Chains A and B, each alone.
Chain A
Amino acid sequence: MAQDALVVSSAGAVTLEWHALRPSDGNFRVRTLGLCSSIALGMALGLPHRKIIALDGDGSLLMNLCSLPTIARMKPKNLIHIVFDNEVYEASGSKKTATGAGADLVGLARAAGIGNAHWANSLEEFEKVIRSAVSENELCFIGAKTSTDRVDVPPYPIDEVENKYRFIRHVEKTEGIEILKSNLPASYN
């Protein structure tokens, strides 16, 4: 199930690192800081039988905290919301975020109504919660504290519009549906 998950990744290094790990047309890169969780929610509501994974960051989620109560309200069973929390705006000069001053994103998720929200405190724990989240059919929020070390990964190879078309074509192909219909009538009128 994890192999064919659609993955939405936040603006920032997480997108490049994820692309290096799993290059796929089923990856969607978000450019608006904060919107990762909302775009993932829209996908989860639109394709309720498909696993949707959001790879979010602390700076991003802090900008769109209201997505948490909205996700809790809609309760999509197919959404896994992962937040990599390095406590800084790493892509923007590494200034400290509010999580670096004590804000607890898992606590916020729980308070917003997402009961199945957990911190993964080690790599082993992360693997465990991810495995269970992927196999279960339940909305899940996972927080993971990460270091600010950069790994050497290539730049994102395609622009936003190509990302959109490739992603939609990937969904069409894997779901057997038609999303982009030709708008031209048989005879122009």
Chain B
Amino acid sequence: MNPLAAAQTIVGGLKSAGINLVATLPDINLETLLHEVESDRDIVHVPLCREEEGIGICAGAYLVGKKCAAIMQNGGFFNSNNAIVSTLLQYQIPLLLLIYYAGDIGDRTFSTTGSLTEPVLQALGIRAYIMRDPDDAQELIRRAQILTEDSKRPVALLLTKEALGRRAQLKSL
């Protein structure tokens, strides 16, 4: 799948899961996905200056009936941690986090960020699933949305370059 097809599949998955507000901050690997989010008329798109404000925006929108997702790089997930803890977890507010997994195996940059991403998610008690195949996107997003709504905690999907259609897939990963 190429980046455009992967992005369209992911946005289709978000819409099937009922998501209608998406807060985002760019990473070069998210470029096509964010373009698809931005050009979708059914989704309120909120471009952020810093990811932590996006956690607040999504929490506020949830409280008045929106279904939200936040799309960011894992560095942005680290930027968001205080809001995740003292707003999402403290108030038991669900949120679907779509996190680009920088520093994944084979990435030239951000290996430190990559190595700490899963341990921090685990420490916060945020259940996380790695999406490597864009063919899984629709089903994974649907399941993750059910989980976040039922558990009333954020749930993270870690999107690798393969999931975004930007690298050949390896069966052994």
Contacts and interface: CB of A to CB of B under 8 A. Distances in A.
B27 to A, nearest CB: 17
B92 to A, nearest CB: 5
Interface string A163-179: 11001100110010101
Contacts of A183: 146, 149-150
Given A35-B56, A39-B57, A45-B44, A30 B64 contact: no
Interface of B is mostly: helix
B64 A64 contact: no
B67 to A, nearest CB: 10
Contact of A160 (B56, B90, B149): B90
Given A31-B87, A164-B63, A177-B65, A42 B56 contact: yes
A39 B60 contact: yes
Interface in A38-75: 38-47, 50, 64, 66-67, 69-70, 73-74
Interface in A12-29: 28
Contact of A46 (B21, B49, B82): B21
Nearest to A65: B49
A140 interface: no
Contacts, number: 118
A30 B63 CA distance: 12
A67 B87 CA distance: 16
Contact of A42 (B52, B61, B149): B61
A8 interface: yes
B65 A42 contact: no
A85 B23 CA distance: 29
A129 B49 CA distance: 29
A47 to B, nearest CB: 5
Contact of B49 (A6, A30, A36, A69): A69
A46 B90 contact: no
Interface residues of B, number: 34
Nearest to B45: A74
B150 to A, nearest CB: 5
A40 B50 CA distance: 16
Given A32-B86, A70-B46, A73-B47, A38 B57 contact: yes
B93 A43 contact: no
Contacts of B49: 66-67, 69-70
Contacts of A32: 56, 82-83, 86-87
Contacts of A172: 65
Contacts of B66: 42, 45-46
A45 B21 contact: yes
Contacts of B54: 38
A46 B53 contact: no
Nearest to B59: A39
A58 B83 CA distance: 18
Contact of B63 (A31, A36, A67, A171): A171
Contacts of A171: 63-65
Contacts of B78: none
B48 interface: yes
A161 B92 contact: yes
10 cross-chain pairs, A with B, having the tightest CB-CB distances, nearest first? A42-B60, A38-B56, A66-B49, A39-B60, A42-B61, A35-B56, A42-B57, A46-B64, A46-B61, A43-B60
